[in-house]
Amino acid sequence: DDTMYLVSAAEVCGKDVVVTVGAANVKGIKQMDIAFSAALIESASATTVQWLQYVPGTRTFTVTLSGEWYDFDLDITPTGGDEALEDIFDGYFNNTAVACVLGAVSTTKSIASTSCRVLDAKLTFPHDGIIGYSVTLEANGAPGTFTQTSADSVLAGIVTGFVNAAGVQSATVLLMSATDAAQWTGTAYPETLNISVPFDGPVTASVSYKGSGALVQDNS
C-alpha cells in the first residue's frame, strides 16, 4: 500500500524495530537484514596437536535497510523528516563514517555501532513520487554494546557472542545419539549470523558455528 509509511518504528510481529543513524530514526523501513561474520584463524594446539583450534580474528557487522519514503531533501544540512537518510547518503558520497544503533528485536534489545561506513546507497524515483531506497552499512570489529531483556534469550546469547567487546565468545556444544548413552562436549565459535526483519512477516535468524579443539566423551 503506497499510502502506508513507517514514521519512526516498524511493528514486526509485535516487536518494535528502530534504526537510528546519527541523531534520528530511519524512516519508512520495510526490510532490515543484519549479518555478522568472524574470521576464525586456524591454529594447532600445543597440547593436542591432532586437534585443530581456532582463534577469532576480525569481526564484520553489516546491516542492509530498504524501504520507501516521500520526504527526500538530500542536501548537506539535514532538514525535515529524513535526517537519518540524509546522514547515510552524505556518508556514502563523502566517504565518511556514520553512527548507527539498531533495535534488532525490540527497542530494549539494541546493537550499537559507533562507526559504520556506507558500502552502498541507492534511490529509485517511480512515477507516483514515493521514493524507494536501499542502503548497506558495515562496521569492522566489535559492533559495541548489546542490551537485552529475558525474551528471546537464545538469540540474544548468540548475538552477545559476536558483539561482546572482549572478542567473539565461544559456546559449549553437546553431541549425543538416541541409541548411544555417550555424550560429547566441545567448544565452537560463531562464524556467521544472519537476522532478517521484514515489515510484514516473522523475524528469521540463522547461525553457523565452527568447532575448535578436542571433543570430550562423557558416559555418565
Provide the pLDDT confidence category of residue 151 given band limits of 50, 70 and 90.
very low
Higher pLDDT, 180 or 127: 127
What contacts 9, CB < 8 A, 6 or more positions away?
16, 17, 18, 25, 103, 107
The one-letter code for the residue type at 50 is Q
pTM of the model: 0.77
Task: Identify which of 206, 165, 172, 174 has the alpha carbon closest to the alpha carbon of residue 188.
Answer: 172
Indicate if the pLDDT at residue 118 is higher than 90: yes
pLDDT of residue 147: 64
- Mean residue pLDDT of the chain comes to 75
Is pLDDT above 80 for 133?
yes
